[in-house]
Amino acid sequence: MPEIREDTFDVKDLAEYAKKQKWWNRVFGKNDSGPAAEKYSVATQLIIGGVTGWCAGVLFQKVGKLAASAVGGGFFLLQIANHTGYIKIDWKRVERDVNKAKKQLKLNTEKPPKEVRTKVEEVQTFVKKNIVLTGGFAGGFLIGLAS
């Protein structure tokens, strides 16, 4: 005759448990243990990264168009003012200053400052630890630029 085991089980009311959870945890299934990359599922990370990337891409596109229009319009107005005689541009001096700036930039490009290197290392560490989120952001950013 098979042996009958009597195990005890805790009965939990799932409705009460669900009410105690934050809405974010209920929707995205957040796990509170481990590093940031392991707290959310892959799908959640892709969605969050994709949405934020798309928003950033659309914003970058709009601001980029505005900045390009402002810079282009400014150069256009300067050329009109120059040709009509309102302003006189010393092109030799402009060329001399541009060449001087080029030389200064070439001297400073051999080794970036320590602050830049540490920020680059921080970004690399973040990307490595959150590759799914970063991938979603990059994809969303490109879609935002294209839309």
Residues 84-116 pLDDT 10s: 988 888 889 999 999 998 888 776 666 777 777
Three-state DSSP class for 145?
Answer: helix
Closest CA to 132 of 142, 140, 121: 140
The residues, any chain, with a CB within 8 Å of residue 36's CB and separated by 6 or more, are: 129, 130
DSSP assignments along 63-131, one per residue = HHHHHHHHHHHHHHHHHHHHHHTS----HHHHHHHHHHHHHHHHHHTSS--HHHHHHHHHHHHHHHHTH
Q: Indicate the pTM of the whole model.
A: 0.54
In this prediction, residue 27 has a pLDDT band, given cuts at 50, 70 and 90, of: low
